Structure 1
Amino acid sequence: MKNLETFNWNDIRTSLERSLGKKDMQGWIEAIDLRMQKMRIELGDYESLPKIARIEQESGFLGIYTKGAQSARARQMLDDIVREVERSCESCGNAAQAQKIGSYIRTLCCHCYNRVLRDPLKENDGYGTRLYLDIAESYPDLVSDNCTSLRPAVGRGWLNSLDRCLQEMERAVFEADLPTGTVQVSDVKAKYGRISVGYHRHHECVDLAEAGLELDTSKTCAICGHFGDRRRGKGGAYPACDYCSSQKFDLSGGSTDGREARYSHPASLNNVPVPTGPELMTYHLGPLVTKIAAEFTDWHPITIIDQLLSHDPAEKGRNLVDLVRDKDEAALYRVLAALRR
């Protein structure tokens, strides 16, 4: 950010734009401008106004630096400005909080967060989150010896939180001086809008890490990873932010676990209807999955993909695509029975 040699109290907005920049900072500029206008009126005398050296956005937080001695009232008012503005979106002024986006920490609401992530001029990975996590590959000490692959069956918006939790679990086992294999994760999935971790073997030393994971994901969108904004459905917390919900989900009816959320299939530009998830499954995987595909009728496409690619420890780490490839009809019937339960 550029430093201000002199903050002009007679032209606050221009001074703020010079300091913070005009692009993507209008939410904060408008909020600070309004509060400083009130501050100027209340303090009255120009000599009573604080001498501001610079104003910066630093890692998602607002910094207002002064020079010289300031009155107690002026310092309090500046502190109030910082505290109030930091709870709003930098770009639009909506309610927000600081969070990591790509290589930066910014304070953005879910709508501006997704807009920035999808900016083609920025080098983003599309979601600002991990795209892939195999627990057996990254944390072999937290799975059984015969587990070669374990993919969590959750949206990738939760993968960063899960990765941090697994690191804490691994450290907790080490610090407790327990032998390798004391804690063995069997599966990770979304259940009733919350993340659920299953175990082959469990030890109380990882309970705190798991509790932190549940708390973290309870405030995180399972699709895009935006923190602090989750849609509220009829049955409780819905695992998507307002932006992702408005783009993909119809919250009327269905459960709140993201698996039965309804998806509106738009027509393409040539008015040819977009095929449904079950139709695509049957087309690409063949008639063996016809009955299984029917169970996915009201599922969201992202959840269908997760289900197809998630490795099932009960089937020797194979996913649904592997079962079709192996023509394992007995295993496919077990999957169908599990879906119908």
Structure 2
Amino acid sequence: MADDVTNAIDFNDIKQSVEENLGSTPEGWSGLVTALFTEVKEYCNLKGATYPFVFQIKEKLGELRIYHRCDDRQIQSMITATIARANRTCERCSNAAETQLLDGWYTTLCCWCAHDVASKRHPERKRHFGVRKTRVRDRMTCGVCGYYGQIDRTDDRNRCPACVKKDW
């Protein structure tokens, strides 16, 4: 291995290492990944195993990516399960979420966080979200903002909870 490649996780300060890679979202993805590597550390200490080498942790195309080298199947399973969970939860708050296209960038945010981000970027617009990575199913697409994945079932206008609250 090249001398200039360092482990992205310092197992003596997991939280700081994760936040350097993902930013500070303790209720979102950085919280999930911090919990993952805390569990991995406990597992390795219990089994006397070597900590995995983590090359990189990042978001790409709205999905969590953890690039690592590890031969232990239990650790691989823990990482895979965390990635799968993260890719269905909000990057910021861990609410249920779907990947959205916002201003040319894929992002995985719940309707509340997505509205917050989009409204700050474009306060004059109501229709914030565009093309999805998956086929649009009209019953799950907000009729106002275009958010896909969360619809208020008590609303007869097929709106997401954020648009209902804003009375759009």
Verify same fold: TM over 0.5: yes
Give the letter aligned to residue 144 of structure 2.
Answer: I
Q: CA distance change for structure 1 residues 240 and 123 in 2, over 3 Å: closer, same or farther?
A: closer
Match of 1:59 in 2: 61
- Gaps of at least 5 residues in structure 1 are 131-159, 162-211, 249-301, 303-341
Residue-by-residue CA offset, 1:221-266 (whole Å, 9 max, x unaligned): 11111110001128xx650011111221xxxxxxxxxxxxxxxxxx
Give the letter aligned to residue 49 of structure 1.
Answer: Y
State the alpha-carbon separation in 2 of the partners of residues 48 and 77 from structure 1. 15
Secondary structure of 2:148 counterpart = coil
Residue-by-residue CA offset, 1:140-163 (whole Å, 9 max, x unaligned): xxxxxxxxxxxxxxxxxxxx68xx
Match of 1:156 in 2: none
State the alpha-carbon separation in 2 of the partners of residues 55 and 110 from structure 1. 24
Give the letter aligned to residue 71 of structure 1.
Answer: D
Tell me if structure 1 keeps the 8 A contact 2:128–2:146: yes
- Gaps of at least 5 residues in structure 2 are none
Q: Which has the higher contact order (CA 8 A, sep 6+)?
A: 2
Provide the aligned length of Structure 1 versus Structure 2. Answer: 159
State the 1:91 CA deviation: 0.9
Residue-by-residue CA offset, 1:157-188 (whole Å, 9 max, x unaligned): xxx68xxxxxxxxxxxxxxxxxxxxxxxxxxx
Match of 2:154 in 1: 233
Tell me if structure 2 keeps the 8 A contact 1:5–1:54: no
- Relative to its length, the structure with more helix (as a share) is 1
Superposed counterparts of 1:23-38, under 5 Å: 27-38=28-39
Tell me if structure 2 keeps the 8 A contact 1:25–1:90: no
State the alpha-carbon separation in 2 of the partners of residues 246 and 92 from structure 1. 18
Match of 1:219 in 2: 140
State the alpha-carbon separation in 2 of the partners of residues 233 and 54 from structure 1. 42
Tell me if structure 2 keeps the 8 A contact 1:49–1:74: no
Secondary structure of 2:10 counterpart = coil
What's the TM-score once normalised by structure 2's chain length? 0.82
Tell me if structure 2 keeps the 8 A contact 1:51–1:66: yes
Asked if 1:243 corresponds to 2:149, the answer is no
State the 1:107 CA deviation: 0.3
Give the letter aligned to residue 59 of structure 2.
Answer: Q
Secondary structure of 1:118 counterpart = helix
Residue-by-residue CA offset, 1:278-337 (whole Å, 9 max, x unaligned): xxxxxxxxxxxxxxxxxxxxxxxx6xxxxxxxxxxxxxxxxxxxxxxxxxxxxxxxxxxx
Q: Percent identity?
A: 24
Tell me if structure 2 keeps the 8 A contact 1:5–1:53: yes
Secondary structure of 2:65 counterpart = strand
Which of the pair has more CA radius of gyration? 1
State the 1:43 CA deviation: 3.0
Match of 1:128 in 2: 128
Q: CA distance change for structure 1 residues 107 and 25 in 2, over 3 Å: closer, same or farther?
A: farther
State the alpha-carbon separation in 1 of the partners of residues 122 and 152 from structure 2. 28
State the alpha-carbon separation in 1 of the partners of residues 128 and 140 from structure 2. 16
Cα RMSD, aligned residues only:
2.6
Match of 2:111 in 1: 110
Secondary structure of 2:28 counterpart = helix
Q: CA distance change for structure 1 residues 46 and 19 in 2, over 3 Å: closer, same or farther?
A: farther
